[in-house]
Chains A and B, each alone.
Chain A
Amino acid sequence: MTSRHPEVFERLAEQSEEFLSGWAEKEKEGLKTFKRVWRLKELAYRPIEEFPDLALRFRLFEEWLESDGLELAGSPLTRYQMEEISAALEKLKLFLPRTSDSAETASSSDQLAQLAEKFVARLSGAETRRPAFFSKADHPPAGGEHSGDGSASLGTSRDKPPASSDLSEDFQKLLSYELEYMRQYRRPGEHPLSVIGRLLDALSARYHLADEVFVAHLLYFLQAQNYPVGPYLEKFRKIKERAKAK
């Protein structure tokens, strides 16, 4: 049996290493993006006990905006990454009022909110460069990406897939997105109501048709199971109304 020759195994090991090195090269850009988002998340989620110097936190955030943030705004991002960034920014914005109420801190809070808005505007710019309603997917598939200018909209042509696309296929992509989200991004033991809560937060920050359909599916399912979905439904309606008004 030829495979008993050690050189055959040596070749196989070398080929595996070549494959893995190529794989890592291919993932280099993803790694950069991941690190940039990670640094923002560290600024947003690091507890006050560990990092009490708020002025330093803001300064680092400002630096992040000018370096990593700028790079991110110019790169294609997945819907999930957008959601992570939005959540981190929301967390940063909420940080100060929860931890201090001094005048100085309040002023810093305003400054931070402005910076965050500035960054979101940049991200919107990045999204305009994203090509299609169903753009190339990473994690999870970007089932509901906007085709247009990155602004929230509902029931307008900007939210619709290109005329040539197949509606059934688009619907299947939405379902795949929901399935992958539940498989990969639902936290262990997280109740579907909590998933709805997270999706609603994401929808408030940035409107996506895929998330709207996803929330609607979950709400309908839970309602059929006699769960009290009233408050979620109400919030969902309000978010939709706001999106329509834009």
Chain B
Amino acid sequence: MEETAQLLYYQAIEALLKKDFDTAEVFLERARRKPGFSHEAEIAYTALQVRKEAMKQKEVYKV
């Protein structure tokens, strides 16, 4: 069946429930390229971006 933005969003939710943030990001990244990418998905995606950037900066300033 067709891979829709909704399917990818819920796959991301499943990953988030397992605390697998990186996989969730991969799903939402793919969902963003599909029609019907929802407002909810955009919020979750933004939060994942914030997390990723924070992790990156943490490593930068650790050095």
Q: A residues near B, CB below 8 A?
A: 3-6, 9-10, 12-13, 16-17, 19-21, 23-25, 27-28, 30-31, 34-35, 38, 41-42, 45-46, 139, 184-188
Contacts and interface: CB of A to CB of B under 8 A. Distances in A.
Contacts, number: 80
A34 B54 contact: no
B13 A31 contact: yes
Given A13-B54, A23-B43, A6 B62 contact: yes
A25 B36 CA distance: 22
Interface of B: 1, 6-7, 10, 13-14, 16-17, 19, 21, 24, 35-36, 38, 40, 43-44, 47-48, 50-51, 54-55, 57-59, 61-62
Nearest to A16: B51
B47 A41 contact: no
A6 B59 CA distance: 7
B48 A16 contact: yes
Contacts of A12: 50-51, 54
Given A20-B21, A24-B17, A34-B10, A13 B55 contact: yes
What is the predominant secondary structure among interface residues of chain B facing chain A?
A: helix
Contacts of B21: 17, 20
A23 B16 contact: yes
B35 A31 contact: no
Contacts of B47: 16, 19-20, 23
A34 B36 CA distance: 15
Given A17-B19, A20-B16, 4 more contacts: A9-B61, A13-B51, A13-B58, A23-B47
Contacts of B57: 3, 6, 9
B16 to A, nearest CB: 4
Most buried by A among B36, B43, B50: B36
A16 B54 contact: yes
B35 A187 contact: yes
